[in-house]
Amino acid sequence: MQPDRDVGVPGGAELLAFSDAVVGNDRAALDEARRAVAAAIGPQAVPAASAIAANFSKNDRVANGCGIPVDEMALKRTEEIREQLGLNDYRSARNTFRHYA
């Protein structure tokens, strides 16, 4: 992620910092990111951004639980990062690999 990148939306920098904090384990950073989002684009944006993050995580977990394979284009583009993160070792990875050579 490039948190210094201008994503072209109001509060973009704050939302990027929030998305980084929400997947981290630093509670103080998350609290600060929430405050920054609220200051930049309003307090209503905090639960909205939180719901989007939670929904993304939920969808990913549902897909994994259902055994939905990663599509072939994504599989090719993520080869290096999957190796680095050990994602190919997850039991659910076999759902992808049995569909592609």
Count of domains for the chain: 2
- 19-69 pLDDT, tens digit per residue, is 999 989 999 999 999 999 999 999 999 999 999 999 988 887 787 777 777
* Domain ranges, residue 87: 69-101
Kindly state whether residues 48 and 77 are assigned to the same domain.
no
51 and 79 part of one domain: no
**Is the same domain home to 62 and 96?**
no
**Beta-carbon-side half-sphere exposure of residue 31 (alpha carbons within 13 Å):** 3
Residue 1: the pLDDT is 60
* Same domain, residue pair 75 and 60: no
Q: Is the pTM of this model over 0.75?
A: no
Clarify whether residues 9 and 49 are in a common domain.
Answer: yes
For residues 60 and 53, give the distance between their C-alpha atoms in angstroms, rounded to a whole number: 11
pLDDT at 41 (0 to 100): 97
Neighbours of 44 (CB within 10 A): 10
AA identity, residue 65: G
At 101 the pLDDT is 61
* Statement: residue 90 has pLDDT above 70: yes
Q: Is 57 left (phi over 0), alpha (psi -120 to 50) or beta?
A: alpha
